[in-house]
Structure 1
Amino acid sequence: MNQKPDTPNRADFAHVTDWVFDLDNTLYPRRTNLFAQIDRNMTAYVAELLSLPEDEARAMQKRYYREHGTTLAGLMHHHGIDSNAFLERVHDIDYSHVEPDPALGRAIAALPGRKFIFTNGDTRHARRTAEALGVLDHFDDIFDIVAADLVPKPAGETYDKFLGLNRIDAANAAMFEDLPRNLTVPKSLGMRTVLVVPSNMKEAVGESWEHERTHDEAIDYVTDDLAGFLVALGPQIARATG
């Protein structure tokens, strides 16, 4: 990836009135391994559904994820599964690994304007995760995979629905994501984009194709410390250019 600034220029965010955050591996650090539990549950679901050994089930799960945006979308397309049953099963996880993050809560609360969670997961999972982090009360709304009619990011129609439903002008919004490919559409719509990466780049970062260099132009900033990045913007961002 081309070198991107990791310290925000306040002037770049002075116009932002709507702050949009992905959930998994963005609001909480990847080392929490919360999504790893979901990932294992998805593999188990595929194995049971198709009577496959674990290694074959995982390979199919990852193929559906790459080809359709989520494992769920692939399973619905190829096998017509019930989405509600799938979401309930894969999000049956232990949230005790999520540590409260008071610094992140204060930083989000200090941002001027509205704040949203925009996730390919479901609202129940988002609420439980944000509650464990101690940040739930700072968000105005959660836009989940159900609200997206089960069409996941990075589909353009899903961003359009999110923006339209919440009456957001993309030119006055910023988006924080851990997957570069999910920032391509926001960038094209005029949003300020920030990629959130692990604090220790030796950590596993998921599938290699998720971080392909083809998405470099969609990224304005990169940070391995979301709370620190937001604090650096300052509570009076609107005055940054004054």
Structure 2
Amino acid sequence: MPASPSSRDFTKVETWVFDLDNTLYSHHLNLWQQVDDRIRDFIVDFLKIPHDEAFRVQKDYYKRYGTTMRGLMTEHGLEPDDYLDYVHAIDHSPLTPNPALGAALEQLPGRKLILTNGTRKHADAVMKRLAVDGHFEDVFDIVAADLEPKPSARTYERFLERHKVDPGKSAMFEDLARNLEVPDALGMTTVLVVPEGQREVFREDWELAGRDAPHVHHVTDDLVGFLNTLLAARRRPA
């Protein structure tokens, strides 16, 4: 899938920022579906409601608050530690080493960082299974964000401040278009990573929307291919 037209390219990029789930690995693996199911089970127990009502609450809070956890904290006074431990206790075995991704990351000039609404423990497990953990300088997780998830502007500001990132010299790779609005406003080059081809994935319509929005500068359904293409472009003489 070609990149969409954009006035922002990658010639000045020195810091490469990646979301984790459904960005570093393919959507069709449905690893996040495990987390999704465990969130619903947690809500059933926490709020003492049936599964169908828990599903409605889960998706409503996710859409309105950025994460279901934030909605439960705001609406019901949830203490997040047990929640985070429970929902991320998943089977990571569907993930296998991705040497092509590792090679592309290794060639990217500059720093590589993870910015995720998940936990560091989950991020570490994902990166280890993909065999790309050695390519990233650090992980900025939901705890580092003071439990305030993307797309909150304050989360991006905290991230940039902590890691001394110049947004005008950085790129953000994400699987949700709404999470690229703030990076665009800050001056980052944005890349939306969408499901491969026409594969069916467990996403709601609003999660898949926005690829034509002006804050989305580039769109790809093949992260490795996209990285290799931009690396080749950077190597060509001006």
TM-score of the two chains, using structure 2 as the length reference: 0.94
**1:60 aligns to what?**
57
The aligned amino acid for 2:94 is H
Deviating more after overlay: 37-46 vs 195-204: 195-204
Residue of structure 2 aligned with 1:30, choices 23, 27, 32 = 27
CA offset at residue 32 of structure 1?
Answer: 1.0
1:198 aligns with 2:219: no
1:219 aligns with 2:216: yes
CA spacing shift, 1:205–1:178, aligned 2, 3 Å: farther
Retained in 2: the 8 A contact 1:46–1:57? yes
Could you tell me how far apart the structure 2 residues matched to 1:38 and 1:142 are?
19
| CA RMSD across the alignment | 2.0
Retained in 2: the 8 A contact 1:184–1:215? no
CA spacing shift, 1:143–1:235, aligned 2, 3 Å: farther
Deviating more after overlay: 146-155 vs 215-224: 215-224
Q: Percent identity?
A: 48
Name the SS of the counterpart of 1:124 in structure 2: helix
Could you tell me how far apart the structure 2 residues matched to 1:215 and 1:64 are?
25
Name the SS of the counterpart of 1:160 in structure 2: helix
**1:95 aligns to what?**
92
Could you tell me how far apart the structure 1 residues matched to 2:202 and 2:182 are?
21
1:19 aligns with 2:16: yes
Retained in 1: the 8 A contact 2:23–2:174? yes
**2:132 aligns to what?**
135
**Residue deviations 1:6-46, cap 9 Å, x none?**
2899x921110000000000000011111000000000000
Residue of structure 2 aligned with 1:166, choices 163, 166, 181 = 163
1:232 aligns with 2:232: no
Retained in 2: the 8 A contact 1:115–1:139? yes
**1:177 aligns to what?**
174
Could you tell me how far apart the structure 1 residues matched to 2:29 and 2:201 are?
12
The aligned amino acid for 1:74 is G
The size of the alignment, in residue pairs, is 237
**Residue deviations 1:91-110, cap 9 Å, x none?**
01000011211000110111
**2:81 aligns to what?**
84
Deviating more after overlay: 199-208 vs 155-164: 199-208
CA offset at residue 51 of structure 1?
Answer: 1.2
The aligned amino acid for 1:166 is H
Residue of structure 2 aligned with 1:187, choices 160, 171, 184 = 184
Retained in 1: the 8 A contact 2:174–2:193? yes
1:45 aligns with 2:42: yes
CA offset at residue 200 of structure 1?
Answer: 2.7
**Residue deviations 1:98-141, cap 9 Å, x none?**
12110001101110000001000010000000110111110001
Retained in 1: the 8 A contact 2:196–2:221? yes
Could you tell me how far apart the structure 2 residues matched to 1:180 and 1:16 are?
20
The aligned amino acid for 1:80 is G
Retained in 1: the 8 A contact 2:178–2:210? no
Retained in 2: the 8 A contact 1:181–1:211? no
Retained in 2: the 8 A contact 1:110–1:235? no
Structure 2: gaps of 5 or more residues: none
The aligned amino acid for 1:164 is E
